Amino acid sequence: MTGVESPAYVPGHGLLKGRTAVVTAAAGAGIGGAVARRFLEEGARVLISDAHTRRLKDHESALAEEFGPESVAALPCDVTDEDQVRALFDAAVAAHGRLDVVVNNAGLGGTAHLADMTDDQWNRVLDVTLNGTFRCTRAALRRMRDTGGGVIVNNASVVGWRAQAGQAHYAAAKAGVMALTRCAAIEAAAYGVRVNAVSPSLAMHPHLVKVTSAELLEELTAREAFGRYAEPWEVANVIVFLASGYSSYMTGEVVSVSGQHP
């Protein structure tokens, strides 16, 4: 099957002008990095975080050079550490007086068949991917409740819906993110806060392609209707939509960003 070429990059339209946003796991070339760039292009002020301090600093410097140092800041954060999560959200409010958008992108994968999976493998994936999203959502809600509203967008996965061998821990975590999103949305509506999620199928970037076997990449892309993987910015575009006023009546939704065959 011949893949369809990626579409042209979509320019910004000021959809998030004046908003303050926090994006987790935003260092590097993946979805988090793409979200940070797209938010800046849409006029937001962005606080990026990641557990990888050096990569985070490098990405902050690159974005600050392009968009201006007043538009972007960075703070290391391990989402499994409640003190670090609290410090991240306190920093965003301290710098700008409020918190408008949070993108919970931090997650951890891995491949292990269930019969051979250790408790440590299971717990580590769930602690980063599900518990980390819980900690950040809780921190965001506490601050947005006090400032009169906001938007939270969580990063789930189609694996939360569809079975895949070797992914029991990751699938369980992402299904949990979906359920957390729906329940949080019902509670947060009273505060004027919307909570939604995206569910990407296959989003790759050059660094990830290099460490993925050609056989696995061919197998995964063969499932996609366009015969190719998504560019991270294509997922980021949907997150921009969910963060913007264009989705003002949406909450508790999990939006599939997928071109997979049924």
Burial of 93 (0-12, 13-18, 19+ CB in 10 A): middle
Q: What is the DSSP string of 26-63?
A: -SSSSHHHHHHHHHHHTT-EEEE--S-HHHHHHHHHHH
Catalytic residue among 9, 170, 246, 249: 170
- Give the three-class secondary structure for 99: coil
CA 124 – CA 41 distance, rounded (Å): 34
* Residue 249 annotated in active site: no
Residue 77: strand, helix, or coil:
coil
Q: Provide the 10 A C-beta neighbour count for residue 232.
A: 23
Q: How many CB atoms lie within 10 A of CB 113?
A: 10
Could you give the residue numbers annotated as active site? 170
